[in-house]
């Protein structure tokens, strides 16, 4: 074959290859292809660019679709070297910028710009995201199992605590009764009376602790049953005052009923609500010094009866306030005569109040005495009750 | 609802779910799972007839060049998310019937099948240690040696991982002669399981219901 013919044939093949490549780029490739004039205005775009980039692309300067926070991107400068790919972030129709590696090729009318994705980076990103998703799923799974196991252990703990407390209470009751009898009736010298008095106090603390454990076990197990009916606030307050009077007198703390609204009746389980009030008043006495006072009130607020117990003690430090109503949170700090705290009283109070669809909260400023408020619906607001 | 009508409704939900995961539409996938569970509360059935079936179909579409690998990965990821959603429902609180280790082989990055197996163990009141994709052989044997186990289940999704799985099974049998070893996964679809089942105490499970039968018999 003559050389001229061979050259002609090679040129033809090359043209066919070029045509096919250009057709692929223009019509099908997932590559952004932009025709730019000499001023870098977009004069044409392939379907991939038209679908991905913002609408009304043609006629716009390319610089408008390039994300350039500092205004430092100079397209003419970038286009000067065709061998270097430039990572440019472009605005897209979805609003999210995407980064493409752009190359600029000079043509007669201006430039042809091709933007392609870094496939290695894309693949790596996808695999990493998938791996993270798998790990997240596995961790979530492990957390569910841990939660299930913790709940099981917690239920067992409650059951054990309830059983232990229940079995301890009866023998302790016998112990207390006989101790009390000996203390009151036997002829003891002063030293023996002191010893027995200490025994009695410690046994009473144990009884309180056991009762709290039992209360909490019942509440935690979801077996707290309330017998709610219209309950006059006045009689309840008077009764609790009477129960606390001796303890207040021993500490020289003055109990003051500030206000109890006339005819105020709440929809409550009388015994449980009294338990809450008693707990808070005794708590207030224990946090008071000689000569200080504790104020109690019960008033109507909207459709609720709101009780309040206020003392003049050291108050509650800000860091203690957050967990005040959680079990064993240290709310017993600041008792003025070394009284022991089980750390459960406020937790039980909160649970009982919440079972009444009420709420309990601290209404005082830090370090300025403590005011506890707790509420429950009025008897009048409950149709079946009124 | 009559049985035939329910079957037809479940078939329609299956199609919705398949389309949702192929489209990468997690929200529609969630809705399909919720509708399925409202009609058919059995979680074993959910895993077999919805999740497993849909993912096998996705795998088939990929093998036949009808979807890209990225689509297959997304569909799998969505299904794993759906499994995580229903997982708390299948955790039982009663006494444990046994403890199992479920793992993928080294270099196997398809963990969804193994996770289904692990979930079914949990559903049947087994305590399950799940080692996910790409479990290192040293980690696998560490758990085997440290935890009291009643069974081990190994999964392979791609057939070129079967040799690695076979080596792991042999090493396990060598060190723990009496421990039941369950093997399974998509990898067994093209190449047989005969050489595995020739090892004493090794069982090839062809499907999730077969696993449930095995679990019920324990």
Paired residues of A116 in beta bridges? A101
A239 and A146 within one domain: no
Is A144's CB within 8 Å of B91's CB? yes
Tens-place pLDDT, residues A302-348: 888 999 999 998 888 877 787 788 776 655 556 666 666 667 888 88
pLDDT confidence of A171, banded at 50, 70, 90?
Answer: confident
B151 and B193 within one domain: yes
Q: Which of A89, A117, A145 is the last residue of a domain?
A: A117
Q: Does residue A381 contact residue A303 with C-beta atoms inside 8 Å?
A: yes
pTM for the full predicted model: 0.64
A184 and A66 within one domain: no
Q: Give, for A354, the enclosing helix (H) or strand (E).
A: helix A345-355
Structural domain containing residue B140: 98-216
Residues of B with CB under 8 A from a CB of A: 70, 73, 77, 80-81, 83-84, 87-88, 91, 93, 111, 115, 122, 130, 132-133
Q: What is the phi-psi region of residue A7: left when phi exceeds 0, alpha when psi lies from -120 to 50, beta otherwise?
A: alpha
B118 and B212 within one domain: yes
Q: How many domains does chain B have?
A: 2
B209 and B104 within one domain: yes
Q: Which of B90, B112, B139 is the last residue of a domain?
A: B90
Q: Does residue A277 contact residue A309 with C-beta atoms inside 8 Å?
A: yes
How far is it, in rounded angstroms, from Cα B17 to Cα B39? 15
CATH number for A306: 3.30.565.10
A-chain residues near B87 (CB < 8 A): 140-141, 144
**If you measure CA to CA, which chain B residue comes closest to A123?**
B70
Q: Which residues contact B203 (CB under 8 A, 6 or more apart)?
A: B180, B181, B182, B183, B197, B214
A285 and A147 within one domain: no
Q: Which residues contact B64 (CB under 8 A, 6 or more apart)?
A: none
Q: Which two tokens stand for residue A95?
A: 């609003």
| H-type alpha helices, chain B | 3-23, 26-39, 43-45, 53-63, 69-90, 112-123, 137-146, 162-175, 194-197, 208-216
A329 and A185 within one domain: no
Q: Is the pLDDT of residue B196 over 90?
A: yes
User: In residues, how long is chain A?
Assistant: 386
Is A141's CB within 8 Å of B115's CB? yes
CATH number for A80: 3.30.450.20
Q: Provide, rounded to the nearest whole percent, the portion of chain A with pLDDT above 90.
A: 33
How far is it, in rounded angstroms, from Cα A148 to Cα B127? 11
Mean pLDDT over A278-296 rounds to 92
Is B84's CB within 8 Å of A135's CB? no
* Residue A78 covered by a domain: yes
A195 and A146 within one domain: yes
A259 and A363 within one domain: yes
Mean pLDDT over A357-379 rounds to 85
CATH number for B73: 1.10.1240.10
Q: How far is B97 from chain A (nearest CA, A)?
A: 15
Least CB–CB distance from A148: residue in B81, B83, B91: B91
Residues of A with CB under 8 A from a CB of B: 126, 130-131, 133-135, 137-138, 140-141, 144-145, 148, 151-152
DSSP class of residue B136? Answer: -
E-assigned strands of chain A? 32-37, 42-45, 86-90, 98-107, 110-116, 229-232, 254-260, 265-268, 293-301, 304-311, 359-362, 371-377
Q: Does residue A42 contact residue A58 with C-beta atoms inside 8 Å?
A: yes
* Residue A14 covered by a domain: no
How far is it, in rounded angstroms, from Cα A117 to Cα A129? 18
B124 and B208 within one domain: yes
Q: Is the pLDDT of residue A42 over 60?
A: yes
CATH number for B205: 3.40.50.280
pLDDT confidence of A381, banded at 50, 70, 90?
Answer: low
Output A341 or B77, whichever has higher pLDDT: B77
| CA nearest neighbour of A315 among A339, A335, A295 | A335
Q: How far is B208 from chain A (nearest CA, A)?
A: 20
Q: How many domains does chain A have?
A: 3
pLDDT in the model for residue A386:
44
B115 and B83 within one domain: no
Q: Which of A68, A90, A117 is the last residue of a domain?
A: A117
Backbone torsions φ then ψ of A382, nearest 5 degrees: -105, 110
Least CB–CB distance from A138: residue in B91, B122, B130: B130
Strand-strand pairing, A304-311 and A359-362 = unpaired
Q: How far is B143 from chain A (nearest CA, A)?
A: 15
| CA nearest neighbour of A284 among A307, A260, A318 | A307
Q: Which of A220, A240, A270 is the last residue of a domain?
A: A220
Is A138's CB within 8 Å of B83's CB? no
pLDDT in the model for residue A127:
84
Least CB–CB distance from A130: residue in B73, B88, B93: B73
- A80-A83-A87 Cα angle (round to 5): 80
DSSP class of residue A61? Answer: B
The set of long-range contacts for A176-180, using a CB threshold of 8 Å and a minimum separation of 24, is A176/A200, A176/A203, A176/A204, A176/A207, A179/A203
Q: Which of B69, B90, B111 is the last residue of a domain?
A: B90
3-state helix, strand, coil in chain A (%, to 5): 50, 20, 30
pLDDT in the model for residue B105:
82
B119 and B62 within one domain: no
pLDDT in the model for residue A339:
63
How far is it, in rounded angstroms, from Cα A223 to Cα B69? 55
Q: What is the phi-psi region of residue A203: left when phi exceeds 0, alpha when psi lies from -120 to 50, beta otherwise?
A: alpha
CATH number for A191: 1.10.287
Is A126's CB within 8 Å of B70's CB? yes
**If you measure CA to CA, which chain B residue comes closest to A126?**
B70
* Residue A26 covered by a domain: no
Structural domain containing residue A59: 31-117
């Amino acid at each position: 074959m003559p050389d001229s013919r061979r050259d002609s044939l090679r040129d033809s093949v090359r043209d066919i290859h070029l045509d096919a490549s250009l057709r692929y780029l223009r019509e099908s490739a997932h590559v952004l292809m932009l025709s730019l004039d000499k001023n870098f205005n977009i004069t044409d775009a392939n379907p991939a660019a038209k679908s991905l980039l913002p609408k009304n692309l043609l006629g716009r300067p390319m610089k408008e679709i390039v994300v350039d926070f500092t205004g430092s991107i100079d397209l003419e400068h970038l286009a000067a070297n065709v061998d270097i790919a430039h990572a440019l972030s472009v605005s897209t129709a979805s609003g999210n910028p995407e980064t493409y590696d752009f190359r600029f090729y000079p043509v007669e009318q201006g430039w042809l710009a091709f933007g392609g994705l870094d496939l290695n980076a894309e693949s790596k990103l996808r695999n990493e995201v998938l791996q993270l998703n798998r790990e997240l799923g596995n961790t979530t799974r492990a957390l569910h199992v841990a939660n299930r196991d913790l709940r099981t252990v917690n239920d067992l703990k409650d059951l054990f605590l309830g059983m232990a407390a229940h079995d301890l209470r009866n023998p302790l009751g016998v112990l207390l009764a006989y101790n009390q009898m000996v203390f009151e009736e036997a002829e003891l010298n002063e030293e023996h009376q002191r010893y027995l008095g200490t025994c009695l106090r410690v046994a009473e603390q144990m009884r309180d602790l056991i009762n709290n454990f039992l209360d909490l076990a019942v509440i935690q197990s979801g077996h707290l049953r309330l017998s709610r009916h219209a309950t006059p606030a006045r009689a309840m307050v008077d009764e609790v005052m009477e129960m606390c009077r001796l303890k207040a007198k021993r500490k020289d703390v003055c109990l003051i009923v500030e206000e109890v609204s006339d005819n105020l009746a709440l929809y409550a389980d009388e015994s449980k609500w009294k338990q809450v009030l008693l707990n808070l008043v005794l708590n207030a006495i224990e946090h008071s010094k000689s000569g200080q006072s504790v104020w109690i009130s019960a008033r109507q607020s909207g459709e609720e009866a709101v009780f309040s117990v206020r003392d003049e003690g050291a108050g509650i430090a800000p860091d203690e306030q957050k967990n005040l109503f959680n079990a064993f949170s240290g709310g017993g700090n600041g008792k003025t005569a070394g009284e022991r705290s089980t750390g459960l009283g406020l937790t039980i109070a909160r649970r009982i109040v919440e079972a009444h669809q009420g709420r309990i909260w601290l209404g005082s400023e830090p370090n300025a005495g403590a005011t506890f408020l707790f509420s429950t619906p009025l008897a009048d607001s409950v149709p079946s009750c009124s | 609802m009559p049985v035939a009508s329910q079957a037809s409704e479940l078939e329609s939900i299956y199609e919705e779910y398949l389309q949702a995961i192929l489209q990468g539409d997690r929200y529609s996938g969630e809705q399909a799972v919720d509708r399925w569970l409202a009609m058919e509360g059995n979680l074993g059935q959910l895993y077999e007839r919805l999740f497993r079936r849909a993912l096998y179909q996705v795998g088939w579409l990929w093998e036949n060049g009808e979807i890209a690998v990225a689509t297959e990965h997304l569909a799998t990821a969505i299904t794993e998310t759906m499994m995580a959603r229903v997982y708390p429902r299948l955790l039982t609180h009663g006494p444990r019937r046994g403890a199992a280790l479920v793992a993928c082989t080294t270099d196997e990055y398809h963990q969804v099948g193994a996770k289904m197996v692990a979930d079914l163990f949990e559903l049947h009141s087994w305590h399950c240690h799940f080692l996910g994709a790409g479990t290192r052989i040293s980690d696998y044997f560490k758990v085997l040696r440290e935890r009291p186990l009643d069974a081990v289940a190994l999964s392979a999704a791609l057939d070129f991982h079967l040799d690695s799985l076979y080596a792991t099974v042999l090493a396990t049998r060598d060190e723990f002669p009496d421990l039941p070893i369950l093997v399974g996964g998509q990898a067994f679809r093209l190449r047989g399981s005969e050489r595995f089942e020739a090892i004493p105490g090794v069982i090839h499970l062809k499907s999730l219901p077969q696993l449930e039968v095995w679990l019920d018999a324990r």
